[in-house]
Structure 1
Amino acid sequence: MATENTHNSSTAQPLTIGLIIIGDEVLSGKRQDRHLHNANKLLRPRGLALSWVKILGDEPNRLEATLRESFANGDCVFCFGGIGATPDDRTRQCAAAALQVPLKRHPEAVAEIEAQFGEAAYPQRVKMAEYPQGAQVIPNFFNRVPGFTISNHHFMPGFPKMAEPMMEWVLDNYYSQYFGEQQIEKAILIHDGQESEWIEFMEAFEQEFPELRLFSLPKITDEGKRLIELGAEGQKNLVEQGIKKMVVEVEARGLIWENLY
């Protein structure tokens, strides 16, 4: 199966990755999204991370405008949903309109759909082989109905069981040169703490560990007790150094703390 790269192969700049999750059923809450969770599960072991996520309904004007904008910014974008053959599946059409190219039946996709469904591929299922002109197929290991890749965008079905292995295939075949050391995340839980009391420490922490992503999540228990989840994400050795720095400071302040993860 062809794997010609359609993305910028330079590793001078880090890879910026976004998700577009499409479907009225997600916006309405009828279906709970799993793509964000699955994407992080695939990206983190490869030393990659998401920069942004958008959830859109099936409204074509908004979808086309969003795709036009994301095609222009050069990000690597994984799009989930709306590539079926029913009238409410409009992603293929909107992608073509955003790129100002026609829809064309991809021979490789037609062959896969025919191999899976035989004569039942016609007249409706074969429509799922209609991609924006110039697209390449993404193999679907679940039911052989491919997704497609074009202009740094990778379009997959809305079903997570199908989409997850397809996204993994895209990462390994198109973006392996961007893989790096696995990022980890660790945090401690500080009891009886208020974020405002930790601002100066956090500012100094970011100066000392610029490669880490510092995060602070305040919590209030049902009993009204204030807690702070304080942690960092990045390369393992740096994260461990950063957590030790936090623990030293917590203990110097005489506060109770516990490891979270």
Structure 2
Amino acid sequence: MAIGLIIIGDEILSGKRTDKHFPKVVELLNARGLQLSWAEYAGDDRARITNVLTRAFATDDIVFSCGGIGATPDDHTRQCAAAALNLPLVLHPEAKAKIEERIADVAREAGKAPDYNAADNAHRLKMGEFPEGASIIPNPYNKIPGFYVEHGVGGATYFVPGFPVMAWPMIEWVLDNRYSHLFQKVPRLEKAVLVFEQAESRLTPLMEALESEFPLVKVFSLPSVGDATIRRHIELGVKGEPSQVELAFAKMVGELDRLGAEYQGC
């Protein structure tokens, strides 16, 4: 089962804000022995968001979508999710109750009685309109929930706000409450060396041979032009199932010796 990430918002693509979700989601997954398989960015365009979500819903993946679930004119994610599913948007009863709790909290802090029929409060309820059949994700920051829809075989897409202070605890809630059975289930190991002054083309046959011989291992190469502190090099390594990684790494080092390549541990 793959895990994907969708990040929505013109402000990310324009550079007005720096995306913080990608590194945080990687961190949250790694802490639980899980790994991100893919990520995609989309601006605030309904057709594009709908297309991205249609593709996500066609998978068995676990997907997190950050951003665009508010009720302002530039928030389109809820509507696009409904369009991708060909379902209506409906006010979720649990979401309605949580949003009304938030309205009451804000009124109490201001020393007033809550007026649920006020225009601004009626508008807030739109944040609880999700595709029919969706379930909610609790929001510990301000009680206004996110939502999720299930698809494929065991897949689901989880929609959280773009604000990190809300999104990250909500993603943790999803992981810890719905996927704890997956934690640390696939042990992984990574081993690598820095290979100096070699062309990737010379190392490619070795990489291909390792992946062919060890099917539970992925080989990676990260070239660097070097800087004032280190010469031009390639970080060459293997990652995956621990026992095969050990065998593949030993063979990789032996082949580097045979090629007369200079390398060091990293």
TM over 0.5: yes
Alpha-carbon distance, 1:94 to partner:
0.9
Which residue is equivalent to 2:56?
70
Q: Describe the superposition over 1:87-132 as per-residue Cα deviations: whole angstroms up to 9, x where unpaired.
A: 1111001111111111111121122222233137713322211111
Partner of 1:156: 160
Counterpart in the other structure of 2:137: 138
The structure 1 residue matched to 2:174, chosen from 170, 173, 176, is 170
Q: Which residue of 2 aligns with 1:106?
A: 92
Moved over 6 A (4+): none
| TM-score (structure 2 length as normaliser) | 0.83
- The yes-or-no answer on 1:210 pairing with 2:215 is yes
What is the SS of the residue equivalent to 1:110?
Answer: helix
1:192 aligns with 2:192: no
Per the alignment, do residues 162 and 185 of structure 1 end up closer, same or farther by CA in structure 2, a change over 3 Å counting?
Answer: farther
Amino acid at match of 1:198: L
Structure 1 length-normalised TM = 0.85
Distance in 2, Cα, partners of 1:127 & 1:77: 23
Deviations 1:180-233 (A, max 9, x none): 134343322111111111122112211222111211112212479431111122
- 1:12 is aligned to none
Specify whether residues 90 and 18 from structure 1 end up closer, same or farther in structure 2 by C-alpha distance, changes over 3 A only.
Answer: same
- Counterpart for residue 146 of structure 2: 147
1:60 and 2:46 matched: yes
Q: CA deviation at 1:165?
A: 2.2
Q: Deviations over 1:40-59 (max 9, x none)?
A: 22223444323321100011
Match of 1:112, as an amino acid?
K
Residue correspondences, number: 246
Q: Any idea what the Cα deviations from partners look like across 1:56-86, whole Å, max 9, x if unmatched? A: 0011111112212321233222111000121
Long gaps (5+) in structure 2: 105-113, 151-155
Moved more, 108-117 or 92-101: 108-117
- 1:220 paired to 2:225: yes
Tell me how large the CA RMSD over aligned residues is: 2.3
Q: Are 1:184 and 1:234, in contact at CA under 8 Å, matched by a contact in 2?
A: yes
The correspondence for 1:250, drawn from 233, 256, 259, is: 256
SS of 1:18's equivalent in the other structure is: strand
Gaps of 5+ in 1: 1-14
The residue aligned with 1:127 is 126
Does the residue aligned with 1:171 lie in a helix, a strand or coil? helix
Counterpart code for 1:242:
A
